[in-house]
Amino acid sequence: MTIAHEEAVIDAAAVDAIFAEARTANSFAGEVTEEQARAIYELTKFGPTAFNSQPLRVTYVRSDEARAKLVDSLMQGNKAKTASAPLVAILSYDTAWHEQWDSFLPGYNAPKAMYDANAEVTAATGNNNAHLQAGYFILAVRSLGFAAGPMTGADFGAIDRDFFPAGDQKSFLVVNIGQPGPDAFGAAKPKFAYDDVVRTV
């Protein structure tokens, strides 16, 4: 039992499932139903974003044709596990997220002018906040009892050409999802301690 378990408002088993005992899986088994895939997003959407912008977009890859295209764009070490995972998600951000301002922040659109005038700021905000949502996506996967295998070892330019040719989305993460398969986890890797990364000013 750690101080995190002692201070948490959820039970120790939940803390372990979402945080302390959860690890990136490298092989997968089982099934992820459409209802479960939907439930992952239904939890993800509650993560915080600037101006409630919600730029994250999720593309679930289920068809053999789409899976083959995706696997071709991955680094060699990521190909086999992605080919066999029950479900794979491509996480991307909407490049025109700010155009939906009246949907995500109705009644207060004054900040939109800043994004209309500066494409670089728009892209950075979309990218940064989608990454924030991606963390919640992984926690959602874990909270539903699945293992997540997030990967950045990919040619995201190729993924964008294959899956988002209109340029309306920019991918940044591929996540394998399922029950852990055989030998899913290697030896646990060290994590930095509190005193290594935290300071109080």
pLDDT tens for 13-32 read 999 999 999 999 999 999 99
pLDDT tens for 107-130 read 999 999 999 999 999 999 999 999
Asked if pLDDT for residue 173 goes beyond 90, the answer is: yes
pLDDT at 1 (0 to 100): 74
Q: Enumerate residues 6+ apart whose C-beta is below 8 A from 126.
A: 53, 55, 93, 94, 95, 97, 98, 170
Domains and CATH numbers, the chain: 25-181 (3.40.109.10)
pLDDT at 186 (0 to 100): 86
Asked if pLDDT for residue 177 goes beyond 90, the answer is: yes
- In terms of Cβ atoms closer than 10 Å to its own Cβ (0-12, 13-18, 19+), residue 38 is exposed
pLDDT tens for 39-78 read 999 999 999 999 999 999 999 999 999 999 999 999 999 9
pTM of the model: 0.96
Q: What are the distances in angstroms from CA 90 to CA 32, 36, 68, 73, 165?
A: 15, 16, 13, 12, 14
CB-CB contact of 121 with 115 (8 Å): yes
pLDDT at 26 (0 to 100): 95
What would the mean pLDDT of 154-164 be, rounded to a whole number? Answer: 98
What would the mean pLDDT of 133-151 be, rounded to a whole number? Answer: 98
What would the mean pLDDT of 166-191 be, rounded to a whole number? Answer: 95
